[in-house]
Copies of this chain bind each other. A is one copy, B any other.
C-alpha cells in the first residue's frame, strides 16, 4: 500500500438553472451535475502485463444526498488486467454503447444535466421505462487494442442481484453490449449495440427483450466539428402482452472553437413508437445552443439554452428519464408539452 500507487481524481460541477415547463411556473435551482470523486491506480506486473483498478463515487455537491450513483463505487468502478492483447475488467460500469457518447453527444453540460442528450437518445436512462442509457452492475468486458485506428469492445452484465427474481436457480436478466470504433485524424465513426434480455425476470411490467443500435460519425474541419447519429430501438413483449414497439431517433451536432471559446448547437429528434404497442404522436424534438469558456484545461464555465417539445403523446423529460413509470410501459403519463432551461454552470476537473 504505497501512497503513490493511488491517484485521487474527480470533477466538481454545478449549475444555476432557470427552468420552465408548459402549464407551470418557472423554477430557479442550483443543480449538481454528476460531480464525482475517484481513486485509481495501476501496477506493472512484468512482460507488459498490468493490473489496474478504479473506484468512482458520485457526490451530490448541491445537497450531500446519497444513494444510487452517489454511493461509494456508485459510478465507474472495476478491477482488471491489460496487456498488448487488450484489457479485461470486471465491476460496475457503463457498456461500450454508452462509451461512444462523446462523438456526437450534447457536450455543453458535459453530457449531463438539463441539456443531456439522453433526454431522447437511447430512450433515456431508466431500464423500467425501456431506456438503454444506464450503468449496469456485475459486468465484465474485453477491450481490444487499436489497429490502425480501429478498436472494439465487448461487454456482458449478469444483471442486478438484488431483485427478487435473481435468487439462486432463477434465470435472471442479462445485458450484452458491443462497439466498433474507427478514429483516425479528423474522423471518428462508430457502431454501438446493446441488448437487454429477460427483463421480465425482474418485473412482469418490463419488456421481455430490448435492442438498441446506432451509428455515429464526427468530423473535425479546422475549428469546426460536425457530428451526427442515427439510432433504432426495439422493445419486445411489453408487459407480457405479446406486443412490440420500435422507434427511430437521430441527432446533429455542430461546434466551433477558437482559443478558449466554443460555441455550438445540437438538434435531436425522436420519431413515433411504431408497431403493435406503438403510439401515434409519441415523438419529440429537442435543441440546445450554448457557449463554453475554458478557464484552463481543467476548468470551464458555460451558458446554454435548451428546449424540448413533445408531440401530443410524447412523454420525454429534460435530463433523461421518461415520465412513463415502471409498470406502466403500455400507458403514457403526461409530460409537459414544452420544457426549456437557461443554464449557467461551472465544471472543475481535478
Binding site for B on A (CB under 8 A): 1, 3-10, 12-14, 16, 19, 21, 24-30, 35, 37, 39, 41, 43, 45-46, 49, 51-53, 55, 57-67, 69-75, 77-79, 81, 90-92, 135, 137-140, 158, 160-162, 168-170, 295-296, 298-299, 346, 348-350
Contacts and interface: CB of A to CB of B under 8 A. Distances in A.
A79 B61 contact: yes
B73 A55 contact: no
Nearest to A44: B296
Copies in the complex: 3
A299 to B, nearest CB: 4
A62 B138 contact: yes
A348 B88 CA distance: 14
Contacts of A75: 64
B53 A77 contact: no
A52 to B, nearest CB: 8
Given A3-B7, A21-B168, A24-B169, 18 more contacts: A8-B39, A10-B55, A29-B138, A30-B90, A30-B139, A35-B73, A46-B296, A51-B298, A52-B348, A61-B79, A61-B90, A63-B162, A64-B71, A64-B77, A64-B137, A66-B67, A71-B72, A90-B346
Nearest to A56: B64
A267 B62 CA distance: 36
Closest 10 CB pairs of A and B: A63-B137, A1-B9, A66-B71, A24-B169, A12-B79, A12-B53, A25-B169, A64-B74, A59-B73, A6-B8
Contacts of A19: 168
Contacts of A170: 25, 27
A21 B169 CA distance: 8
B12 A8 contact: no
A66 B74 contact: yes
A50 to B, nearest CB: 10
